[in-house]
Structure 1
């Protein structure tokens, strides 16, 4: 798949627009810290991520699943997970949705 330059610019603008202290930034930072097995496809990853969007209360289980995709739980993954400070998954995700709605691109 060839990545279009506009799509890249659009995603970069999105990332730049996010407040570093936000739940959205914390979740994306966690995602960047995770690694996947070589045999895992982008379609597989998209599927499990879409499942989170459909069931946001599953966030704690989803983070554990994502951390285990490479069959290794790294200290960086644990650090980023801890920085998310998830005490109530529904509240964390509700705040995240509000942050997403407030972005103006």
Structure 2
């Protein structure tokens, strides 16, 4: 997977790499809520176990990533150039650093 690239340059807005922990907490909360709902309804009640909506048990804006952002190739180039100017010492080193950063930005 070292050569895999993104087909669409869309990334999360914050620096959080994954929402795995937040999703695990939400699913635990949702399953516990469903277990208590199933345990409290009588067996002959057909309409008693309706699934809960996502918004009743969790808020997606409180999770690690607040959404997604389209990151165009032009913007990636500008960011890479800015970082390379700040960190690179010579012209050759800045060019190599800029190319490496652009490759990193499009990597998965």
TM bin, normalised by shorter chain, reads: under 0.3
TM-score (norm 2): 0.24
Higher Rg:
2
Structure with the largest fraction of helix: 1
Structure with the largest fraction of strand: 2
